[in-house]
């Protein structure tokens, strides 16, 4: 049984990492490093010997999908811990080589079960992620379609608006804007915010209609 494992935390929110560290240490695991982006992760990989990595997909302007390959090259199994629950993203994560997927709105036991399964060498799909995959198999594959709000935000990006300006225009929080942008990046298969802005500028007709 996997116990006292060394786990590398990769999430761009220090408070989230702090909460995860507390949860994992209570289960006798050791947090051997923390990172908020790819460059920090590479430093941690060079100085620590992680048994697995717990990886978020939204890392500011970066996508956690791009880090899975780096971790695989170092022989570090990856458990993705993300707010994204769409089947399209979940499938991409496994296609990149991750061993497990857990959604952030699930209870802590779901995460700990995922950690245990991955450390024991098994693939893991959490209950919410499994339900998303099941539903997608029962209906036409439209998971990659942008939502109306995502289209609206991309349209504003194409007009040169900053995230703060978009938040003010739509009367939503800036973190909410960032979350919508991250979802659009994953659905469109882009590398980050720079590519999303370029896509919005170069494809104004494809960016969707203006929202109400």
The pLDDT tens digits for 76-135 are 999 999 988 888 889 989 999 999 999 999 999 999 999 999 999 999 999 999 998 887
The conformational region for residue 76 under phi > 0 = left, psi -120 to 50 = alpha, else beta, is beta
Both structure tokens of 32? 């051997």
* pLDDT tens-place string over residues 4-34: 899 999 999 999 999 999 999 999 999 999 9
> What value, to the nearest 5°, has the Cα angle with vertex 37 and ends 47 and 109?
85
| Residue 1 covered by a domain | no
Count of domains observed in the chain: 2
* pLDDT value at 206 more than 70: no
Domain boundary among the residues 80, 112, 137 is at 137
169 is a domain residue: yes
Q: How confident is the model at residue 208 (pLDDT cuts 50, 70, 90)?
A: very low
Clarify whether residues 118 and 165 are in a common domain: no
Among 137, 162, 190, where does a domain finish? Answer: 137
- Domain identity same for 163 and 99: no
Average pLDDT over residues 143-169: 87
Q: Specify the pLDDT at position 3.
A: 62
Residues 78 and 154 in one domain: no
* Tens-place pLDDT, residues 35-66: 999 999 999 999 889 999 999 998 988 889 99
Distance CA 35, CA 46 (A): 12
pLDDT of residue 144: 54
| Residues 132, 153 within the same domain | no
CATH number at residue 196: 1.10.10.10
Q: Which of 142, 144, 151, 164 is nearest to 203 (CA)?
A: 151
Which structural domain range is residue 12 located in? 6-137
Question: Helices in the chain by DSSP H: which ranges?
Answer: 14-26, 38-47, 65-73, 87-96, 108-119, 127-137, 148-158, 163-170, 174-188, 193-202
Is residue 178 domain-shared with residue 73, that is, in the same domain? Answer: no
Selection from 64, 144, 149, 152 nearest residue 101 by Cα: 64
Same-domain pairing of 100 and 42: yes
130 and 161 belong to one structural domain: no
Do 118 and 152 belong together in one domain?
Answer: no
Q: Which of 93, 189, 187, 181 is nearest to 143 (CA)?
A: 187
Asked which of 85-89, 150-154, 169-173 is least confident by mean pLDDT, the reply is: 85-89
Q: In angstroms, rounded to a whole number, what is the distance separating the alpha carbons of residues 96 and 100? A: 11
Residue 210 domain flag: no
Here the CATH number for the domain that contains residue 15 is 3.40.50.2300
The residues, ordered by sequence, that sit 6+ positions from 144 with a Cβ below 8 Å of its Cβ are 88, 187, 188
Question: Which of these three, 137, 166, 184, is where a domain ends?
Answer: 137
Please indicate, yes or no, whether residues 156 and 121 belong to a single structural domain of this protein.
no
pLDDT of amino acid 137:
73
Give the pTM. 0.68
């Amino acid at each position: 049984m996997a116990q006292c494992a060394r786990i590398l935390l990769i999430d761009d929110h220090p408070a989230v990492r702090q909460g995860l560290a507390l949860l994992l240490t209570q289960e006798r695991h050791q947090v051997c490093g923390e990172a908020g982006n790819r460059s920090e992760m590479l430093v941690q990989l060079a100085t620590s010997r992680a048994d697995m990595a717990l990886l978020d997909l939204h890392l500011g302007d970066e996508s956690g999908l791009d880090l899975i390959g780096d971790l695989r090259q170092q022989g570090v199994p990856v458990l993705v811990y993300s707010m994204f629950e769409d089947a399209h993203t979940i499938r991409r994560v496994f296609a990149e080589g991750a061993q497990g997927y857990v959604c952030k709105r699930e209870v802590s036991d779901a995460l700990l079960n995922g950690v245990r399964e991955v450390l024991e060498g098994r693939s893991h799909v959490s209950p919410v992620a499994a339900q998303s995959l099941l539903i997608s198999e029962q209906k036409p594959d439209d998971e990659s379609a942008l939502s109306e709000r995502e289209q609206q935000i991309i349209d504003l990006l194409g007009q040169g608006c900053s995230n703060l300006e978009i938040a003010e225009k739509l009367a939503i929080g800036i973190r909410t804007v960032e979350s919508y942008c991250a979802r659009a990046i994953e659905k469109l298969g882009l590398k980050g915010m720079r590519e999303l802005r370029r896509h919005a500028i170069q494809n104004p007709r494809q960016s969707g209609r203006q929202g109400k």
